[in-house]
Structure 1
Amino acid sequence: MNVDLNKIQLKDLLSDLIQTPSVNPDGDPGTCSENTGEKKMAMKVGGIFENIGAEVYYDEVEPDRPNVIAKFPGSDNKPQILLAPHLDTVGVGGMTIEPFGGIQKDGKIYGRGASDTKGTMAAMIWALNRIGKEKIKDLGIGVTFVGFMGEETGQPGSNHFAKKYHREYDFAVVGEPTNNNIVSRHKGTLWITLECKGKPAHGSTPERGENAISKMATLVNWLDKDFRTLLKSKEYQNELLGFPTLNIGRISGGTRTNIVADQCAIEIDFRLTPELSTTQAYKKLEELLDKNGFTDVVMITKLTCEPLHTPDSNEYIQKLINLDSRPEIVGAPWFCDAAVLSSMGGIPSVAAGPGSIDQAHTHDEWISEKDLESGADFYEDFLLSARS
């Protein structure tokens, strides 16, 4: 598992990381079980950091699914900076390339995680190695790297870390493909299942029953028209993120074609701005369902992630935007571990890294060598600028 960074190029490091499968095991299709889980990736990354002089810890969040933490000596009694990509990837079903090949071709590196987020992880490792243990020790900041497990489903890794190390860090840069721009705001997420009941009857006498699917169709129509209009209210608009959105992603109901459906459920994905928290959105939906006659609908929360909003005035954001590469402050419609660190851990956070989100999760995922190199330069420049 040992990798000698002095004998390879950055692109080779990324290929090596891609060749160590770490598919999130929670419901990702198209991947055999031997390629799921983050333990092998955590051990590989930990071994690399041990070789370059960091103290490495494996913090098991779930069985065989650890966070890996690498802390450089001389970090105590200084402002603490956290570099935080995630170890896991989405599944590989439908990919048109060898998902774990790490193939280098025409100036690109291909494979699952090349963009999201093994590319950012490789760039962070490369930057830290280039600065070197002794120089890191002399910086005016403490530097810690953490590779999170579980980001792609529910974010248990960052949740665990945020609770355990609450307010112990002054700033976090979460590795995501942002073209090296600074995502200081991104939407939060609220996943809710709505269930309604009916009364079963024989399909030849539907008048004797109560069709739950028909009831749900009325509810879906209301969500699509009235509730979607509510989300367009000026009070919920964000200057970088626009308005909150909702997507009805799944519907299921009934048992057989010849039985009046006695149950139906839909799954809703809300993407929320900082102006509308997950709690506010839940309460607003609950209130309006009752007000509009949907009194027997059951609401079940499946996932919550608060929106991210780190003020532009933050001293480390100011250092970032004043780097020679002049990154921009941008918003993102997706969510990531930055919001968890911020909302649960009290750690001011942004997402930033090389590559484009357009390549993430694709059938031929890749990152360019040029972008990868620019990412390493970006992280190195930030750490050197943050010392003063």
Structure 2
Amino acid sequence: MNDAVEFLIRLLRTPSLSGQEAAAVQVMVAQMAAFGWEAFVDESGSAVGQVGTDGPLVVLLGHIDTVPGEIPVRIEDGKLYGRGAVDAKGPLATFVWAARRAEQAGTLGCRLVIIGATEEEAASSRGAHAARDRYRPDFCVIGEPSGWDRITLGYKGRLLVHYRYQQPVAHSAGEQRAAPEQMVDFWRAIEQYCQHLNAGRSRLFEQLIPSLRRVHSDSDGINEWVEATIGFRLPPGVEPSTLAETLQTLAGAAHLSFEGACPAFQSPRTTPLASAFVRAIRQHGGQPAFLHKTGTADMNVVGPVWQCPIVAYGPGDSRLDHTPDEHIVLHEYEHAIAVLADVLAQLR
């Protein structure tokens, strides 16, 4: 077992739920400090490592937090299982070891900042917001699973909506619609709105997608109420504030509150950074392709502000994100390290 795999196993064995990342952050900081890099914990609780003294500033921004769900860490048939193996400790470990490989080979021609950011899985993206305000890089790579031979150029936006409707209790045989029925009417109105907006849009990346996350209703004998949380994945051209206004109209007398708003973001495929990845993937025998993801990532936070060439890259199958079968194929992890090391050698 090589050092890169051992490091990823240590990260996976150290729980790091959003808001509880401190122990895993220390694992990452200790490893980077052992390389002789400047390594520290920043004001957001994120792990930061810095290496290189000349050339353009490159930020490798991954996230160290995970969603809940314990998966025993183990290697079976060349696959490493564990919560965060794909999303996104695998890509984050790729950053660390690609930088180390380029440094040892003497090919690192840029200044690197490597960040294991906190609270990406929460609505706050605390680590990414701190990085956004601190740095102004020339290039940025976001640590998310794309597959070793794929490059992600864009992510959809997000809006979380918390719904609450309350009314006096009425007899179930009466004409008044119950509070849960009012919420169902709202959900149906959302579905109709999205179907109308999505007409003629064949790609998922171009569609407004709602998801009903939670519903709860109750009564104290005097009043009855219903609460729900609805998530939206926003395509380019749909702004969170505009959608919020529409939803408020559809909700009628219900109270809405909003969280985690961010617009979609896309980067062009003609940047020097994207071209460097294409060359490196081909050099290692892959057939590069570009992706647009239907989820949201820290690219949505930093991309609009930094306005630099930016992609997301990392080993792993994103269909395994948040699942009980989350694992990374070890030879893909090794390929990704080699590709990214070659990319870093080209950014001068």
1:330 aligned to which of 268, 274, 291: 291
Moved more, 357-366 or 171-180: 357-366
Counting only pairs closer than 5 Å after superposition, residues 129-278 of structure 1 correspond to structure 2 as 129-132=100-103, 135=106, 139=109, 141-154=110-123, 155-165=125-135, 168-180=136-148, 181-201=150-170, 203=171, 206=174, 211-224=178-191, 226-234=192-200, 237=201, 241-255=205-219, 259=221, 262-278=224-240
Match of residue 343 from structure 2: 382
Tell me if the contact between 1:86 and 1:151 (Cα under 8 Å) persists in the aligned partners: yes
Q: What's the CA shift for 1:123?
A: 1.8
Counterpart CA distance in 1 for 2:184 and 2:322 is 32
- Cα 1:204–1:250 change in 2 (3 A) is closer
Tell me if the contact between 1:339 and 1:349 (Cα under 8 Å) persists in the aligned partners: no
The one-letter code sitting in structure 1 at the alignment partner of 2:57 is: Q
Counterpart CA distance in 2 for 1:240 and 1:143 is 34
1:370 aligned to which of 328, 331, 337: 331
Structure 2 counterpart SS, 1:161: helix
Match of residue 315 from structure 1: 272
Tell me if the contact between 1:114 and 1:365 (Cα under 8 Å) persists in the aligned partners: yes
Q: What's the CA shift for 1:172?
A: 1.1
Counting only pairs closer than 5 Å after superposition, residues 62-101 of structure 1 correspond to structure 2 as 66-75=45-54, 78-92=55-69, 95=70, 97-98=71-72, 101=73
RMSD, aligned CA: 2.4
Match of residue 60 from structure 1: 43
The one-letter code sitting in structure 1 at the alignment partner of 2:198 is: K
Q: What's the CA shift for 1:53?
A: 2.5
Counterpart CA distance in 2 for 1:55 and 1:200 is 63
- Cα 1:219–1:229 change in 2 (3 A) is same
Counterpart CA distance in 2 for 1:108 and 1:14 is 12
Counting only pairs closer than 5 Å after superposition, residues 6-85 of structure 1 correspond to structure 2 as 8-25=2-19, 37-61=20-44, 66-75=45-54, 78-85=55-62
The one-letter code sitting in structure 1 at the alignment partner of 2:187 is: V
Counterpart CA distance in 1 for 2:178 and 2:49 is 57
- Cα 1:361–1:322 change in 2 (3 A) is same
Identity of aligned residues (%): 24
Structure having the larger proportion of residues in strand? 2
Deviation string, structure 1 residues 152-192 (Cα, Å, up to 9, x no partner): 11211112221233xx1122111111103111111111011
Q: What's the CA shift for 1:326?
A: 4.1
Deviation string, structure 1 residues 213-267 (Cα, Å, up to 9, x no partner): 232232222222x212233145xx48671312111222222325xx475322222
Q: What's the CA shift for 1:80?
A: 1.3
Whether 1:117 aligns to 2:88 is yes
Tell me if the contact between 1:185 and 1:331 (Cα under 8 Å) persists in the aligned partners: yes
Match of residue 262 from structure 2: 305
Q: What's the CA shift for 1:72?
A: 1.1
- Cα 1:263–1:347 change in 2 (3 A) is farther
Moved more, 172-181 or 156-165: 156-165
Tell me if the contact between 2:61 and 2:142 (Cα under 8 Å) persists in the aligned partners: yes
Counterpart CA distance in 2 for 1:365 and 1:215 is 38
TM-score (norm 1): 0.81
Match of residue 32 from structure 1: none
Structure 1 counterpart SS, 2:43: strand
The one-letter code sitting in structure 2 at the alignment partner of 1:267 is: T
Q: What's the CA shift for 1:11?
A: 1.8
Structure 1 counterpart SS, 2:206: coil
Q: What's the CA shift for 1:83?
A: 0.9
Counterpart CA distance in 1 for 2:183 and 2:322 is 32
Tell me if the contact between 2:58 and 2:113 (Cα under 8 Å) persists in the aligned partners: yes
Structure 2 unaligned segments of length 5 or more: list them: none
Counterpart CA distance in 2 for 1:58 and 1:243 is 39
Q: What's the CA shift for 1:200?
A: 2.5
Tell me if the contact between 2:206 and 2:236 (Cα under 8 Å) persists in the aligned partners: no
Aligned residues: 342
Match of residue 320 from structure 2: 359
Counterpart CA distance in 2 for 1:349 and 1:238 is 26
The one-letter code sitting in structure 2 at the alignment partner of 1:89 is: T
Match of residue 28 from structure 1: none
Structure 1 unaligned segments of length 5 or more: list them: 1-6, 26-36
Counterpart CA distance in 1 for 2:173 and 2:329 is 62
The one-letter code sitting in structure 2 at the alignment partner of 1:317 is: A
